[in-house]
Structure 1
């Protein structure tokens, strides 16, 4: 199974009575999301399920994929306060037959990385709009092997 973790792009700071989940992307965040969507569309399998937190900034990040005809599903269990367990259950890790991408938040995305790569007490720092691609392969003679397949940042994407 492939699990792709995409942290939302740069968002505005909460002001006044604004709820954390209502924060919008900044102009820089919109550019980051567009670059990453361009790259993701070129590498994601057509069968990839895309699951998104209901927060405004994650939906806006995922909206960049709509330009490429990719649809997503908003899942309340992937909200800003999600746990590793909730996110992995939503993705059906490691049992999903197709790749799954979660568009979500720190700290749970970094905690997922730590959990799956064998460092459960270490929360990795998944930077804004970065993608971490984790794969698991089942070998015939041994247990499944989980490994980090790729990390991508928007400033590495060449898009005009």
Structure 2
């Protein structure tokens, strides 16, 4: 399975939180990452998105074919993310467009074995895959790509 974690791009400050839109910079970040994804995406990619405006705008820079999942919202947690995406047993690939701190905590769990306060920058993408070697399941970080490097 491939699991891609994409933190929403930069959004305006304010309230209500769920209605915050991307800034012009955030729109550029989302378009650049979407272009990279179009060039490098895994086959059979399912896109799951938080219900907030900023995450839907981020996902829409890449595709109109995404599923809104309430468990991926700003108050989401690692257990909800894992249940939504089916890691590590689902087949194919899943792109999750979501929020801190849950995305960072999930990245920490996948790489270190325990949740920690890791940060995924706004607009950045972390791509994980899993494999079995010598009877042991391993998690592999394929890329950690901040939007600024595109």
Scaled by the length of structure 2, what TM-score is found? 0.95
Task: Say if 1:113 and 1:123, in contact at 8 Å, map to a contact too.
Answer: no
Ranges in structure 2 where 5+ consecutive residues have no aligned partner: none
**d(CA) in 2 for partners of 1:95 and 1:62?**
24
In structure 1, which of residues 59, 69, 79 is the aligned counterpart of residue 73 of structure 2?
79
DSSP 3-state at the match of 1:65? coil
Deviation at 1:71, TM superposition (A): 1.5
Alpha-carbon distance, 1:80 to partner: 0.7
* Structure 1: stretches of 5+ with no match in the other structure: none
Counterparts of 1:84-123 in structure 2, within 5 Å, are 84-123=78-117
- TM-score, L = length of structure 1: 0.90
Higher Cα radius of gyration: 1
Q: How far, CA to CA, are the matches of 2:95 and 2:82 in structure 1? A: 11
Deviation digits for residues 5-59 of structure 1 (CA, Å, limit 9, x no counterpart)? 0000000001xxx211111000000000000000011111230111000000000
Give the root-mean-square deviation of aligned CA atoms: 1.1
> Aligned residue pairs: how many?
150
Determine which of 142, 147, 150 is the counterpart of 2:140. Answer: 147
Between Structure 1 and Structure 2, the one with more strand by share is: 2
Q: Does 2:14 align with 1:20?
A: no
Match of 2:42 in 1: 45
